[in-house]
Structure 1
């Protein structure tokens, strides 16, 4: 990272900061096509997204090469478009992941990049800009900048109103962000209205029992917690846990079935995979561990509910190859299951899970054999 000297700036060209659009005084020495107003924004962008896309920006921000034919020019333009679309999704997913991890400040530069590339590809009035506006709104809510969040949401809503091709997925995202905004403003009736719409539109796209719909149920449960309506919140958290358990446990059952296959097939089948991208994994961790914390703090009289979420979170960490965490949670769930009546099936399922965990980490093998022996 080096300073920009006045003679390096082409005559008549105004360089703007990548993060805030202020006049730029620095540039990234690695790509030499990205500029900043100062070292603070340069570092913020690097931490958020620039390290991941630094070299990918060079062909987008340099003059296209000379082509000998129209076919080559068309191919070059198509490649450029594909690069931009790739960066739209990459920046969007990175920003999403930061939001689910509670890193709201880090998400902002990545979300701004996604918005910038969307504008370049689709134009200023396209509904494709809405997901990026919503990311920026959610980041602003997390940072406590409610007025800024409302501005981004207003831009998103205006874009939707002008569009003729706004689909149910975008409508779901819009209402989810409005639900978050009204929750932050402690206007819980409005929050519930918008989250109900989020669930409706998400169900239209994915179905009511899909993990992508579960976020709406989870946020609705949080609203009822704020309203001290614990029974309703409890039922919503149970539904969220059931949705994620059904999804994650299928991967475990596939592995248990694969263990009965010949050795050459076994090696391939037992590779861990959640089937989720990094942002979705971060969302799963955030949702399920939040429910687990709430259950352990408020649900002592409902040990079966605690057991269920413990097992679900253990499976998630196992599939993400967080083996020590998975083992800790699975052992905790196993010991709890032994205290409950008529839980033989759950106890057996947890022994199977502990066996799978042990297969990934020999350190836990002794413990797994011990728990297997408890079933004798």
Structure 2
């Protein structure tokens, strides 16, 4: 049976199927608070997640008890919210595990639960909903349901666009799933674009963490190990070579259209500058930092320019006054 799973939305729990939200005809006799349109979806939900959370749903889907004071009522509400937050992460982890194992059908009900609990706790427009949308998109892609995956990803994109608080990890996952979507649609140019976004942001996060620590030590001419400064990217030679190959390949995709997405091109240039800086190759680091600053001065804010200027100044200082033991 080819079941289509619609986008999850807040719903009246009673008489709505837990999986597809169609009119419900069956009830779980174990918890009596979960409904299904028929035996197919009941079995699917049970095998995916319901068996694991059946009894946990009872206090969430029954009327709150009478409290003698406002303080007791607030405490009860806090407990209710904590239970929902626990279920958000638990259902998400279960769905993620299914995806790792290639069990895309099993992942869908668990991911839907995570999405609904996120809506209850964070509201309809929160960026906290995006990880669940991305899980559902990935599961849909694995099942060959391209239209369904596109709907989930559109919802995720829209939520991210409206948010001012989205982590690099979430951006990375969004681009990865968009890349997979366009690969499935055989739009390889768009797929390359989004997969490049994913990879470049991962490398930027990794190298920036190293750069922040080591640049401070170098400014003070202090080696944390009490030795002369050496190459310290945290990578071996093969990994460094692979990083350079990937990042320069991404740059070759980005630069011809840098006017359309200058921030993305600047990100790659800055990442390469940090990589070469950590590799103690000041000439290459200076080259990429200077190119990043030039592009930033044309398109980005003064604050963003200042970050790159600081990097370039540090590189230039080391070129003029090399650190010795």
TM-score of the aligned structures, taking structure 2 as reference length: 0.59
Match of residue 162 from structure 2: 162
Alpha-carbon distance in 2 for matches of 1:13, 1:91 = 18
**Per-residue Cα deviation, 1:207-260 (whole angstroms, up to 9, x for no partner):** 5999xxxxxxxxxxxxxxxxxxxxxxxx89x969xxxxxxxxxxxxxxxxxxxx
Match of residue 121 from structure 2: 121
Q: Please say which of residues 52-61 and 71-80 is displaced more in the overlay.
A: 71-80
Alpha-carbon distance in 2 for matches of 1:54, 1:14 = 15
Deviation at 1:201, TM superposition (A): 2.6
Cα 1:67–1:204, aligned 2, differ >3 Å: closer, same or farther? farther
Match of residue 284 from structure 2: none
Aligned with 2:61: secondary structure?
Answer: coil
Alpha-carbon distance in 1 for matches of 2:84, 2:32 = 18
Alpha-carbon distance in 2 for matches of 1:180, 1:140 = 11
1:137-216 alignment, distance < 5 Å: 137-205=137-205
Task: For CA contacts below 8 A with separation 6 or more, give which structure has more relative contact order.
Answer: 2
Match of residue 36 from structure 1: 36
Cα 1:53–1:166, aligned 2, differ >3 Å: closer, same or farther? same
**Per-residue Cα deviation, 1:176-213 (whole angstroms, up to 9, x for no partner):** 11111122223333222212211233344455999xxx
8 A Cα contact 1:168 1:204, kept in partner: no
Cα 1:136–1:13, aligned 2, differ >3 Å: closer, same or farther? closer
TM-score of the aligned structures, taking structure 1 as reference length: 0.51
Report the number of matched residues.
204
Alpha-carbon distance in 2 for matches of 1:174, 1:157 = 8
1:131 aligns with 2:111: no
Q: Name stretches of at least 5 consecutive residues in structure 1 with no aligned partner.
A: 1-11, 211-234, 241-376
1:334-349 alignment, distance < 5 Å: none
**Per-residue Cα deviation, 1:119-172 (whole angstroms, up to 9, x for no partner):** 111111111111111111111110111111111111111111111212212111
Alpha-carbon distance in 2 for matches of 1:169, 1:51 = 30
Alpha-carbon distance in 2 for matches of 1:204, 1:80 = 39
Alpha-carbon distance in 1 for matches of 2:194, 2:144 = 20
8 A Cα contact 2:130 2:159, kept in partner: yes
Alpha-carbon distance in 2 for matches of 1:209, 1:135 = 27
Alpha-carbon distance in 1 for matches of 2:207, 2:77 = 38
Match of residue 253 from structure 2: none
8 A Cα contact 2:14 2:33, kept in partner: no
Alpha-carbon distance in 2 for matches of 1:205, 1:91 = 27
Cα 1:147–1:48, aligned 2, differ >3 Å: closer, same or farther? same
1:1-376 alignment, distance < 5 Å: 15-205=15-205
Alpha-carbon distance in 1 for matches of 2:190, 2:206 = 24
Aligned with 2:66: secondary structure?
Answer: coil
What is the aligned-residue RMSD (CA, Å)? 2.4
Greater per-residue helix proportion: 1
8 A Cα contact 1:126 1:159, kept in partner: yes
Cα 1:206–1:29, aligned 2, differ >3 Å: closer, same or farther? farther
Cα 1:239–1:100, aligned 2, differ >3 Å: closer, same or farther? farther
Alpha-carbon distance in 1 for matches of 2:173, 2:147 = 19
**Per-residue Cα deviation, 1:286-330 (whole angstroms, up to 9, x for no partner):** xxxxxxxxxxxxxxxxxxxxxxxxxxxxxxxxxxxxxxxxxxxxx
Alpha-carbon distance in 1 for matches of 2:104, 2:13 = 33
Aligned with 1:23: secondary structure?
Answer: coil
Match of residue 359 from structure 1: none
